Structure 1
Amino acid sequence: MNTLGLIAGNGRFPFLLLDAARAHGLEVVVAAIKEETDPEMDARAAADSGVRVYWLSLGELSKLIETFQKENVTRAVMAGQVKHKQIFSSIRPDWRLAKLLLSLRTRNTDMLLGAVAKVLGDEGIELISSTAYLEPLLAQAGVLTERVPSEQEQSDIDYGREVAMAVAGYDIGQTVVVASQACVAVEAMEGTDAAIERAGTIMKTLAEEGDASTLDRRLTVVKVAKPNQDMRFDVPVIGLKTIEAMERANATCLAIEAGRTLIFDRSTVLLRANTAKIAIVAVERG
């Protein structure tokens, strides 16, 4: 078991996992998604003989299986986001994936990826946790920044977690944006950062129209794992872009879930948050 298959989506996640797997002495076979994966992946393979990259389109499930079997991959991991709108609108499924899609009771991400994981397992390829080799990046419980949440922000966190857990339970999204215990925005297919920016736009519009007098214009962002989070895919992640989106939206507090949320570029994220006076807290699930 010295070879790991890596199904790479977008962002830095695939590169972090690749580095961690190589540090553990594993060779890595990368299934790079043409519509999502950063082209830099080819450069990484060119610089490291222990990394081999195969490019395939979203929807080519048979090609994915054939590639891993040819490379004797028996364990694989998914790392990096695949945009929900890509999955459910832009996808061109091959016969195997088309058959799988027709068998789904509901067309949501968990149902689809769970079915893909089962197909891989039936072909002798075990899909393992996407946090494998990245345990040090999981958020530990407590306040992570210099500033602690205010009393109002803590109230918004408590309220936001209730709403976010309910929404996440339906696999709609994992993030809500709250102001004075009023839900301003709920994440759907657009993703966390876009939901944060949408909340900022809503509050700005309310202020311009004079309708925000009853709300604290500062926003609290609450991101949770799903109630039955499958750690093999769609694990909550925050990074520098999250903090930048919060700054643009005038969001002053971020609550994430301890032990279930990956923080990328932690030192940079915390430095930027401290500079912007943003409080970040990791909350344990009760």
Structure 2
Amino acid sequence: MEKGKNKLGLIAGNGRFPFLLLEAARAHGLEVVVAAIKEETEPEMEVRAAADPGVRIYWFSLGELSRLIETFHQEGVTRAVMAGQVKHKQIFSSIRPDWRLAKLLLSLRTKNTDMLLGAVAKVLSDEGIELISSTSYLEPLLATPGVMTERAPSENEQKDIAYGRAVAQAVSGFDIGQTVIVASQACVAVEAMEGTDAAIERAGALMRTLAAEGQASTFDRSLTVVKVAKPKQDMRFDVPVIGIKTIETMERAGATCLAIEAGRTLIFDKDTMILRANAARIAMIALERG
């Protein structure tokens, strides 16, 4: 086998995504070298690595790009994948760049996540490390078209989906966020650096405030959440992901409908998520790419 082809570098962010990708890669017979981010990766990753001789783990702080490259070279890694979120606010507030990353940051025209991660991918490529799609080995978890829950979106929710999708596609094109929350074809919240769950919570809090002040009577108080991929989504990073936590957050916020894009959104714990959505009478639908 060609050198490095039986190894995979896993740059692990937060949440379950890195664990799922790790399990899938191991099931394909790959040795995995985990680059765990001190500010993001779950401590459980250390336990998982210790239990499997086919997994090695190294811990890095955000900004240690040179050390990451050196470690992958020492381990013979020629392919790597990014899995798991690195909070946008971490990238732009907590990062302490080494000389290589500092040089890269100074070269960027704009300081958004797409530009930054794309530049990191280019540096890795120049060093002989190919960054592959974050959905590699996880294709079965990509959403398929259609209604996923017992309840389909109502007529009003369908209108909110159409409006929200147009807004979300426009916003995501500027790498601001990928999620909008809508009520009666009015945009209640737009995701930015805080992330999807925080945006949903903010929308719920705003609706409760309006209701308390008697200002929400002019439109339906239920919220529809629309999450899309970017128009030119790079599947190597920042791929839309939903899971149980999404539904739990929607319940607290009073959201009744979730729309995502088929083929470009990963669903974690799908069966449990659908059961929870059905119990809460939340409609879930995956839309064909328009």
Q: TM-score range by the shorter chain?
A: over 0.9
Q: Which residue in the other structure is 1:24 paired with?
A: 28
Equivalent of residue 120 in structure 2, options 116, 122, 137: 116
**CA distance in 2 between partners of 1:46 and 1:263 (Å):** 27
**One-letter amino acid matched to 2:104:** L
**CA distance in 1 between partners of 2:287 and 2:72 (Å):** 38
Q: Give the count of matched residue pairs.
A: 286
Q: Which residue in the other structure is 1:149 paired with?
A: 153
TM-score normalised per structure 2 = 0.98
**Offset at 1:204?**
0.4
Q: Which residue in the other structure is 1:225 paired with?
A: 229
Q: Which residue in the other structure is 1:42 paired with?
A: 46
**CA distance in 2 between partners of 1:49 and 1:108 (Å):** 38
Q: Which residue in the other structure is 1:52 paired with?
A: 56
* CA-to-aligned-CA distance 1:16-44 (integer Å, 9 cap, x gap): 00000000000000000000000111111
Q: Which residue in the other structure is 1:244 paired with?
A: 248
**CA distance in 2 between partners of 1:102 and 1:212 (Å):** 46
Secondary structure at 1:220 match in 2: strand
**CA distance in 1 between partners of 2:274 and 2:53 (Å):** 35
**One-letter amino acid matched to 1:23:** A
**CA distance in 2 between partners of 1:279 and 1:28 (Å):** 38
**Residue segments in structure 2 that go unaligned for 5+ positions in a row:** none
**One-letter amino acid matched to 2:166:** E
Query: Quick check: 1:180 aligned with 2:173?
Result: no
Secondary structure at 1:217 match in 2: coil
Q: Which residue in the other structure is 1:98 paired with?
A: 102
**CA distance in 1 between partners of 2:137 and 2:255 (Å):** 32
**Residue segments in structure 1 that go unaligned for 5+ positions in a row:** none
Q: Which residue in the other structure is 2:214 paired with?
A: 210
**CA distance in 2 between partners of 1:21 and 1:285 (Å):** 28
Secondary structure at 2:33 match in 1: strand
**CA distance in 2 between partners of 1:208 and 1:46 (Å):** 52
Pairing of 1:118-133 with structure 2 (within 5 A): 118-133=122-137
Secondary structure at 2:26 match in 1: helix
**One-letter amino acid matched to 1:114:** G
**One-letter amino acid matched to 2:77:** V
Equivalent of residue 87 in structure 1, options 84, 91, 104: 91
**One-letter amino acid matched to 1:177:** I
**Offset at 1:173?**
0.1
Query: Quick check: 1:6 aligned with 2:10?
Result: yes
> RMSD of the alignment, in Å?
0.4
**CA distance in 2 between partners of 1:60 and 1:152 (Å):** 49
**CA distance in 2 between partners of 1:50 and 1:92 (Å):** 31
**Offset at 1:285?**
1.2
**CA distance in 2 between partners of 1:175 and 1:46 (Å):** 37
**Offset at 1:166?**
0.2
**Offset at 1:184?**
0.1
Q: Which residue in the other structure is 2:284 paired with?
A: 280
Query: Quick check: 1:138 aligned with 2:139?
Result: no
**One-letter amino acid matched to 1:154:** Q
**Offset at 1:143?**
0.2
**Offset at 1:45?**
1.0
Query: Quick check: 1:62 aligned with 2:49?
Result: no
**One-letter amino acid matched to 2:45:** M
* CA-to-aligned-CA distance 1:160-194 (integer Å, 9 cap, x gap): 00000000000000000000000000000000000
**One-letter amino acid matched to 1:99:** K
**One-letter amino acid matched to 2:224:** T
**One-letter amino acid matched to 2:203:** A
**CA distance in 2 between partners of 1:203 and 1:43 (Å):** 42
Q: Which residue in the other structure is 1:267 paired with?
A: 271
**Offset at 1:215?**
1.2
* CA-to-aligned-CA distance 1:194-221 (integer Å, 9 cap, x gap): 0000000000000000111111000000
